[in-house]
Chain A
Amino acid sequence: MNTKPSAATLEAALNAPRVHGRGVWGDAARRLFRNKAAVASMVVLAVIVLLAVFAPWLSVYAIDDIDWDNIQAPPDFAARHWFGTDGNGRDLFVRTLYGGRASLAVGVLATAVSLVIGVAYGSVAGYIGGRVDTVMMRFVDVMYSLPFMFFVIVLVAVFGRNFILIFVAIGAVEWLTMARIVRGQTLSIKRREFVEAAHAIGVPSHRIILRHTLPNVLGPVIVYATLTVPQVILIESFLSFLGLGIQEPLSSWGVLISEGAKVIEVAPWMLIFPGLFLAVTLFCFNFIGDGMRDALDPKDR
């Protein structure tokens, strides 16, 4: 019997409410939101981000206001120096929040740079494979073997100290790992049958990468990106510590910590507050990253 669909039933089916499936992403999000540590971290992180964004409106002091009456003073609520002041009499609360702006911006932007370069590079290398892949990954190996600090110092020497340069430099190094991860994942996804099916249909290569391999490597990539942000923040702090990072009067957590470290005995608040913010942020990113990894782990599926 020919079971050609009758026009009426087809019409009915088309107009019927569609059953929306639970996608892999939807499942992962649900699992992520069941993870208490990850959710708490997201809340804390959101608060820190909001504080950093609205820093100018949260205090009566500006970032470079000098309070001659309170030089290197401990926290004083009457004077509205909640975190105290630094050696130049500048309000530490404002400086910590502004520092958060710089640190978070560097973290997110450098990670974004590394994400874009790494994902594009890795998925092309992995997808094409063969000799192209070998050459592309050897280049990554060579870059890896360059000492990072040397690389940054050369950049700073050539282009001068500059905010954009910092995240370009960090992103340029961080993308290497990203490229390796994406390439490895792409290599394994490429062998899956649905990619072969796409080939058999005749889907062009760029569409296979965009629609088939990339969405399937995104899970580990997102996890790694989340874990890269704190790493980048640390690198920036380290660079600032060495005097290669953010310039005065702007500040970052790294700068504040290095200043605070010098006076730890006489003005511990100068180290404690920025250090606390940095540590909490790093923990949050790590918890979120872990939560995402668990949520996206194919083993539970």
Chain B
Amino acid sequence: MSDIKQNSDGDGAGDSDSDGAGETLVAAPILRVRDLSVEFSVPSADGIFGGRRALTAVNGVSFDLHAGETLGVVGESGCGKSTLARAILQLLPASRGEVVWMGEDLVGHPGLRERRRDLQIIFQDPLASLNPRMTAGDIVAEPLRTHRGEIGRAERRRLVAEMFERVGLSPVMVNRYPHEFSGGQCQRIGIARAMILRPRLILCDEPVSALDVSIQAQIVNLLEDLQREFGMALIFISHDLSVVRHICHRVMVLYLGRVVEVAERDILYRSPRHPYTRALMSAVPIPDPRIERERRRVVLEGDLPSPLDPPSGCIFRGRCSYARSRCAEEVPVLEELGGQSVACHFHNDI
């Protein structure tokens, strides 16, 4: 398996071309996820002798991701977004399915350490994801120590300082500890740590939802700048549809661990087909007051059903105003509709 040039010379930081993403879009996907499922075994509610039962947090998720692409993953909290990210990284074992990274299936292969070099993650809680007993510089240097042991101390320090500067932090702060930084700065440290090996994919697990709104924009812009410069792909997990709209090329909507709709960003935001996506969309305010006043709001009724006891047939059935008897009997599959896939029996009637 030959390495793509742009990534193998990880040191040639600044000189990678910004349109690299465009040309590789037609090539084979760097990440292919097929039928990925994650189950947890939880103690069952009835009595101490009730034994354990399976909770399916992610259920049969499939998608492709191309180099330089940004895929948004949206859904309410508890829909399995974060679990999906961890299963892709093999931080959680998948119970079924494949995660094919650069042509190799990662599921159940512990020899992953080398692969993880070009697969990184940014976490939701910026402070919690940094070791309080390590300096910011050591935190950012850790991937280098782990994977690029051949790099000497001085060179490592230079690379770290450069990365600090690149993510908008002053290199004089390398000796400070995480609790001395603000939330936004901590997230910049997290991004620097993820970027220092020049990965090909960064999973962003709600990277801005713990931050102030004004800082959210800075972090999102930083990610975009870095993507333009280094051409890595992003999987951007969020419950905030406006942020996703801003940064993502394609969006995948999860509901109770299943994909209910995937589409190109513009198509999805212009014409969402799945009733759940519509409900989500209608909760986002539209900047134009005229349209905002005239549109029909779809209000989601009821709560997210328990993933321990999902409804038969279509999982959205209990909250769907279009539900008919067929929805209870048959699980809708994702149907390809040109740039958009929807898992609903009646997407044509809606």
Contact = CB atoms under 8 A, between A and B. Distances in A.
A39 B204 CA distance: 47
A204 B145 CA distance: 11
Given A193-B128, A198-B142, A18 B175 contact: yes
A193 B129 CA distance: 5
A207 B132 CA distance: 16
A194 B131 contact: yes
Interface in A193-245: 193-194, 196-204, 207, 211-212, 215-216
A10 interface: yes
A209 to B, nearest CB: 13
Nearest to A197: B129
B198 interface: no
Nearest to B225: A3
B42 to A, nearest CB: 16
A193 B146 contact: no
Contact of B165 (A9, A192, A194, A204): A9
A257 to B, nearest CB: 42
A131 interface: no
B128 A20 contact: no
Contacts of A149: none
Contacts of A158: none
B178 to A, nearest CB: 9
Given A4-B14, A197-B121, A202-B116, A19 B176 contact: yes
Nearest to B165: A5
A147 interface: no
A5 B125 CA distance: 28
A197 B193 contact: yes
Interface string B291-324: 0000000000000000000000000000000000
A193 B130 CA distance: 8
B187 interface: no
A142 interface: no
B133 to A, nearest CB: 4
Nearest to A215: B133
Nearest to B126: A193
B173 A19 contact: yes
Contacts of A21: 135-136, 173, 175-177, 180
A10 B171 contact: yes
Contacts of B225: 2-3
Nearest to B112: A202
B89 A200 contact: yes
Nearest to B146: A203
Given A4-B14, A200-B91, A10 B165 contact: yes
Interface string B154-174: 000110011001101011111
Contacts of B177: 21-24
Most buried by B among A21, A196, A198, A301: A21
Interface string A85-112: 0000000000000000000000000000
Interface in B99-123: 112-114, 116-117, 119-121, 123
Interface of B: 13-14, 86, 89, 91, 112-114, 116-117, 119-121, 123-125, 128-136, 142-143, 146-147, 157-158, 161-162, 165-166, 168, 170-177, 179-180, 190, 193, 225, 229
9 contacts: A10-B161, A23-B135, A196-B123, A197-B121, A197-B130, A198-B131, A201-B120, A203-B142, A211-B142
